[in-house]
């Protein structure tokens, strides 16, 4: 028998002071996995010292492990662990620079074997024996407690490479969040990885995907908290996948640095996370219209044809996209002069017709001495280097490329200037950052190698640390460029990759999905999850990217897209032949061969009509979406929410993955299967009205599903604002319609409007209407209060009262009685009236 060579002894690390450890405790004997990469594993032992330093309580263990706890608000605790008492400079790309910690009075108490930090809302108890932590709420309930707690591993080759936290998991605890994961909504029993990855034709099991969002919600007995692990290395999350009773998260480098966000509601956690990492700003109104895309509309005559196709058929549309083929040989910021001889004329003509143009930009800059961007980039040191000191290059669409180092502030500034011709001169309205994981063409290693070095804003690091924030920082560079080039305009940027906090710089689409019903379901799940993970401005390739949609799938997907803040159709187009694709992608495409076009009129007349109706519904509901986006920018409320957000105490809602909340008062129950004629919906507490019939219901209900209708419900007492349909958002709004839903009790709704472009709203040019409804003793009233200096252009308001329990005998507006107009439906009546926009109060009496 062969004797294994003895591993060399582990060198005892020299720890800098302070603190000076009294001993180095190798809790687990130092073993070697591989002869050449010895590892050491360390866990905190007894706390030997506690002190207040630089805004945090520091707990120092005998063996050098250190925990720093800072309280950023009564409900936000931050915990940073170091295995050896050394902390890297504090730095984060995720935290919103506008975030300001609150001044909180925190008491530190020492008790038998424990230290206690109390912020009022939240208490943290640190065990003296082993540094384990417990979080309690005001009612002394344990919200979350360490199981094994913190541990760290290091190897010679990687240094500290597994910084781990293990926590106890309650029996009935459920978990949500983590961004774009494609599996069922409740995360418990599953494990995940975060590493931005190009994932062509991904499925429910694919993980990781394009984005890294290391933030999750836990919900136990109706009480929620959140955990945000602010670490950009590859991270792992395990929600008790082995039924051991523990949850665990760990990072492959850097610091175990997490934020504990107190609820108690799921909504509170969402808002606190938004406070910490920011939100997207209010988009220009055209960006919330319908968008048409394909790989690629090319040449310009094809683009014009598509635009004309919309207007001829009177199908609303606000934006047309140009995919990579508009460029000259995939060189960013150039044009294929043959196919697009006069881009400005094209963009101007499209704008004249009410279309904005959006173009793609990739991070890879073609290696070509005659290409200005490459030449300047080289001359000015704009690109990433390997640790050997040469410019890092990898193949993407244009062949071998260099990649800008977006973590360098000078590079970000330079990158921003590159948009000048497209954005300012030609008038491209928005941009689309693709391949920014970054993706490269390599079968096994789909991104840059680990030895690529990044500036990282003065804290240099390798690609292991910068990979996950590469796309986010590309988006930031672009976004800041737009702000500088045309500060008067609201930018629109759509990105594939991102990291926590990246919502401040771009909208997100979910990447290369497929044209099948399974993917419609995944699209629904992913957008809900992205929205509660900070990215409300999200959408999917409607109809599916790869493969062939059929009419019914396409229409049902459009109907779901009505309720996604980004509503964009996109498909792989002619590229499905595999021509020009890297071999491994071409191979995947083969069975998914795409033959059909994917415009609203591509599936025959019947489906064209239905598609048109879906898109028209989007334009009707724009005031509702715009108001939801406004609320999101104001306090971080997600535009889409998982149904558990409606009632955290109802376990029947935990595993719902089809139905979700939209904005303030809507519950959407999309059709995500073929040939559905009837759909059962479980409504959370309270009464809800089925939009299409005005029928009230609660608990379990069944609705008949028409091909032209996506099922959705309105909360009782709500006021639902609706515009007439328009061909694009630049058209005038003739009238506002308010659907008012009866409730026995009180409810509040908001309608936010402004110019839809620019920043005058920040100086008061907005209109916020607060609607308060109240029903009691056979009467119902609607009050309107307006804030802001903006007056929307419409001069008429039409009101429909839905659900009044008896016949209305009297109706008065601002104290003046008005004749009753009744619309008799099969089993109930609607009541309608016309008013001036500035009415203050309407009363109905039965
Ligand atoms: O390697 O630009 O996800 O939306 O159409 C494929 C071509 C590159 C991937 C994007 C897709 C886009 C395509 N791009």
Write out pLDDT tens, residues 45-90: 999 999 999 999 999 999 999 999 999 999 999 999 999 999 999 9
pLDDT digits (tens, 9 = 90+) for 610-627: 999 999 999 999 999 999
Q: Looking at ligand 1, which atom is closest to the CA of residue 511?
A: 3
Residues in CB range of 324: below 8 A, 6 or more apart? 295, 296, 330, 360, 362, 397, 434
137 lines ligand 1 (CB under 6 A): no
| Residues 772, 785 contacting (CB under 8 angstroms) | yes
The closest residue, in CA terms, to atom 14 on ligand 1 is 434
3-class secondary structure per residue, 580-623: CCCHHHHHHHHHHCCCCCCCCCCCCHHHHHHHHHHHHHHHHCHH
324 lines ligand 1 (CB under 6 A): yes
Report DSSP letters for 1-52, one per residue. Answer: -PPPPPPPPPPPPPPPSSS--S----SSPP-EEETTEEEEEE----EEEEEE
Q: Looking at ligand 1, which atom is closest to the CA of residue 573?
A: 5
Q: How far apart are CA 831 and CA 833, in angstroms?
A: 7
Residue matched to tokens 């800059």: 365
Note the pTM of the prediction, 2 decimals. 0.94
434 lines ligand 1 (CB under 6 A): yes
54 belongs to the catalytic site: no
Ligand 1: distance of its center to the CA of 434 in Å? 7
Predicted local distance difference test score (pLDDT) of residue 444 = 86
The alpha-carbon radius of gyration of the chain (Å, integer) is 28
Taking the alpha carbons at both ends of the chain, their separation in whole angstroms is 95
Q: How far apart are CA 469 and CA 502, in angstroms?
A: 9
- Catalytic residue selected from 58, 255, 362, 512: 512
Q: How far apart are CA 24 and CA 42, in angstroms?
A: 9
Ligand 1: distance of its center to the CA of 618 in Å? 26
The closest residue, in CA terms, to atom 6 on ligand 1 is 435
432 lines ligand 1 (CB under 6 A): no
362 lines ligand 1 (CB under 6 A): no
Ligand 1: distance of its center to the CA of 524 in Å? 21
Ligand 1: distance of its center to the CA of 590 in Å? 16
Q: Looking at ligand 1, which atom is closest to the CA of residue 396?
A: 1
49 belongs to the catalytic site: no
Q: Looking at ligand 1, which atom is closest to the CA of residue 293?
A: 5
Q: How far apart are CA 198 and CA 440, in angstroms?
A: 9
490 lines ligand 1 (CB under 6 A): no
838 belongs to the catalytic site: no
Residue matched to tokens 């800098």: 16
- Cross-strand partners of 393: 402
Ligand 1: distance of its center to the CA of 794 in Å? 41
The closest residue, in CA terms, to atom 11 on ligand 1 is 512
Q: How far apart are CA 105 and CA 118, in angstroms?
A: 8
Predicted local distance difference test score (pLDDT) of residue 20 = 32
CA distances from 168 to 123, 165, 238, 273 (A): 17, 10, 12, 22
Q: Looking at ligand 1, which atom is closest to the CA of residue 323?
A: 2
512 lines ligand 1 (CB under 6 A): yes
511 lines ligand 1 (CB under 6 A): yes
255 lines ligand 1 (CB under 6 A): no
Ligand 1 pocket test, pick from 321, 324, 434, 437 with the greatest ligand atom count within 8 Å of Cβ, gives: 434
The closest residue, in CA terms, to atom 5 on ligand 1 is 295
Tokens of 51: 């002190």
Predicted local distance difference test score (pLDDT) of residue 3 = 44
Tokens of 289: 């219209």
Q: Looking at ligand 1, which atom is closest to the CA of residue 570?
A: 4
Low-confidence ranges of the chain (pLDDT < 50): 1-36, 576-578
623 lines ligand 1 (CB under 6 A): no
- Catalytic residue selected from 318, 434, 599, 657: 434
Ligand 1: distance of its center to the CA of 540 in Å? 13
Region of residue 354 (phi > 0: left; psi between -120 and 50: alpha; otherwise: beta) = left
- Catalytic residue selected from 58, 437, 599, 747: 437
Ligand 1: distance of its center to the CA of 739 in Å? 41
Residue matched to tokens 């193949």: 395
Ligand 1: distance of its center to the CA of 516 in Å? 18
Ligand 1 pocket test, pick from 401, 435, 438, 577 with the greatest ligand atom count within 8 Å of Cβ, gives: 435
Ligand 1: distance of its center to the CA of 699 in Å? 43
Tell which residue, 174, 158, 178, has the closest CA to residue 235: 178
403 lines ligand 1 (CB under 6 A): no
Ligand 1: distance of its center to the CA of 402 in Å? 19
Q: How far apart are CA 655 and CA 664, in angstroms?
A: 21
φ, ψ of residue 710 to 5 degrees: the values are: -95, 125
Q: Looking at ligand 1, which atom is closest to the CA of residue 324?
A: 2
């Amino acid at each position: 028998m062969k004797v294994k060579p003895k591993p060399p002894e582990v060198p005892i690390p020299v720890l800098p002071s302070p603190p000076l450890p009294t001993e180095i405790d190798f809790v687990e004997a130092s073993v070697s996995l591989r002869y050449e990469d010895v590892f050491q594993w360390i866990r905190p032992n007894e706390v030997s010292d506690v002190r207040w330093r630089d805004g945090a309580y520091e707990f120092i263990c005998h063996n050098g492990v250190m925990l720093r706890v800072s309280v950023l608000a009564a409900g936000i605790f931050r915990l940073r662990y170091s295995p050896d008492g050394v902390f890297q400079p504090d730095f984060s790309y995720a935290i919103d620079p506008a975030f300001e910690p609150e001044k909180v009075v925190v008491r530190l108490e020492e008790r038998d074997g424990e230290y206690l930090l109390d912020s009022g809302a939240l208490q943290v108890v640190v065990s003296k024996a082993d540094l384990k932590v417990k979080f309690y709420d005001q009612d002394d309930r344990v919200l979350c407690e360490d199981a094994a707690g913190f541990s760290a591993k290091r190897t010679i080759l990687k240094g500290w490479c597994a910084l781990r936290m293990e926590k106890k998991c309650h029996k009935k605890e459920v978990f949500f969040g983590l961004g774009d994961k494609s599996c069922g909504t409740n995360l418990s029993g599953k494990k995940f990885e975060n590493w931005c990855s190009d994932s062509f034709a991904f499925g429910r099991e694919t993980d990781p995907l394009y984005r890294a969002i290391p933030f999750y919600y836990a919900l136990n007995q109706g009480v929620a908290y959140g955990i945000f692990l602010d670490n950009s290395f590859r991270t792992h999350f395990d929600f008790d996948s082995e039924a051991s009773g523990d949850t665990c998260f760990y990072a492959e480098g850097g610091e175990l640095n997490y934020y504990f966000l107190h609820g108690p509601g799921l909504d509170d956690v969402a808002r606190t996370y938004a406070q910490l990492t920011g939100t997207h700003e209010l988009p220009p109104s055209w960006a919330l219209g319908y968008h048409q895309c394909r790989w690629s509309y090319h040449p310009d005559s094809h683009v014009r044809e598509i635009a004309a196709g919309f207007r001829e058929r009177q199908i609303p549309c606000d934006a047309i996209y140009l995919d990579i083929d508009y460029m000259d040989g995939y060189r960013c910021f150039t044009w294929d002069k043959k196919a697009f001889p006069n881009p400005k004329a094209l963009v101007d003509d499209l704008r004249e017709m009410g279309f904005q143009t959006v173009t793609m930009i990739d991070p890879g800059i073609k290696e070509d001495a005659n290409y200005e961007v490459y030449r300047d980039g080289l001359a000015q040191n704009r690109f990433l280097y390997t640790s050997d000191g040469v410019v890092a290059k990898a193949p993407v669409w244009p062949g071998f490329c260099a990649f800008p180092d977006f973590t360098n502030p000078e590079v970000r500034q330079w990158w921003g200037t590159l948009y000048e011709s497209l954005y300012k001169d030609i008038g491209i309205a928005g941009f689309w950052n693709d391949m920014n994981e970054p993706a490269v063409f390599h079968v096994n290693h789909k991104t840059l190698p680990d030895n690529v070095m990044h500036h990282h804003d003065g804290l240099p690091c390798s690609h292991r640390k910068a990979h996950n924030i590469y796309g986010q920082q590309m988006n930031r560079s672009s976004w800041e460029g737009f702000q500088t080039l045309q500060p008067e305009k609201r930018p629109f940027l759509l990105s594939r990759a991102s990291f926590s906090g990246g919502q401040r710089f771009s909208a997100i689409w979910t990447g290369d999905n497929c044209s099948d019903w399974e993917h419609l379901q995944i699209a629904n799940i992913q957008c809900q999850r992205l929205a509660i993970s900070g990215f409300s401005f999200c959408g999917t390739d409607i109809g599916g990217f790869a493969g062939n949609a059929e009419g019914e799938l396409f229409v049902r997907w459009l109907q779901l897209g009505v309720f996604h803040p980004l509503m964009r159709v996109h498909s792989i187009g002619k590229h499905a032949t595999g021509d020009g694709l890297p071999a491994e992608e071409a191979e995947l495409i083969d069975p998914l061969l795409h033959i059909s076009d994917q415009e609203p009129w591509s599936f025959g007349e019947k489906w064209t009509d239905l598609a048109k109706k879906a898109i028209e519904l989007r334009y009707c509901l724009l005031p509702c979406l715009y108001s939801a986006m406004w609320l999101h920018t104001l306090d971080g409320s997600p535009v889409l929410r998982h149904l558990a957000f409606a009632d955290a105490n109802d376990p029947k809602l935990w595993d719902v993955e089809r139905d979700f909340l939209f904005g303030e008062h809507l519950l959407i129950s999309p059709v995500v299967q073929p040939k559905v004629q009837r759909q059962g919906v479980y409504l959370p507490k309270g009464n809800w009205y089925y939009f299409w019939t005005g029928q009230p219901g609660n608990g379990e209900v069944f609705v008949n599903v028409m091909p032209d209708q996506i099922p959705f419900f309105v909360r009782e007492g709500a006021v639902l604002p609706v515009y007439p349909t328009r061909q694009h958002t630049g058209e005038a709004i003739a009238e506002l319609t308010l659907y008012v839903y009866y409730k026995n009790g009180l409810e509040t709704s908001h309608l936010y409007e402004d110019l839809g472009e620019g920043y005058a709203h920040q100086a008061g040019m907005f209109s916020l209407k607060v609607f308060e409804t109240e029903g009691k003793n056979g009467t119902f009233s609607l009050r309107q209060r307006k804030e802001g200096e903006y007056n929307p252009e419409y001069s008429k308001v039409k009101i429909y009262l839905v659900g009044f329990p008896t016949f209305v005998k009297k109706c008065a507006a601002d104290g003046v009685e008005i004749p009753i107009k009744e619309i008799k439906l099969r089993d109930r009546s609607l009541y309608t009236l016309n008013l001036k926009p500035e009415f203050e109060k309407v009363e109905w009496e039965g």
